[in-house]
Amino acid sequence: MALTDIQIKRAKPQDKPYTLNDGQGLSLLINPDGSKGWRFRFRFAGKARLMSFGS
């Protein structure tokens, strides 16, 4: 299920980094300092890859 704007805005920092999954390999990483960044997990040439967006 896709994340909503409200869910993203309400995501509060915790003691350790955690992720909210958006589906299809896309997730939002929330860091203890309150920063948020998107991550996309995919496979290319048979290898697992991770691409990050934002800070």
pLDDT of residue 1: 77
Tell me the helices (H) and strands (E) count for the chain, helix number first.
Answer: 1, 4
Does 55 score more than 70 pLDDT? no
Domain that holds residue 40: 5-53
Task: Report the DSSP pairing between strands 47-53 and 26-30.
Answer: unpaired
Residue 54 — very low, low, confident or very high, per pLDDT cuts 50/70/90?
confident
User: What CATH number is given to the structural domain containing 48?
Assistant: 3.30.160.390
Give the C-alpha separation, 9 to 7, whole Å. 6
pLDDT tens digits for 1-47? 799 999 999 999 999 999 999 999 999 999 999 999 999 999 999 99
What's the total number of domains in the chain? 1
pTM over 0.75: yes
Give the C-alpha separation, 33 to 23, whole Å. 25
Q: Which helix (H) or strand (E) holds 7?
A: helix 5-10
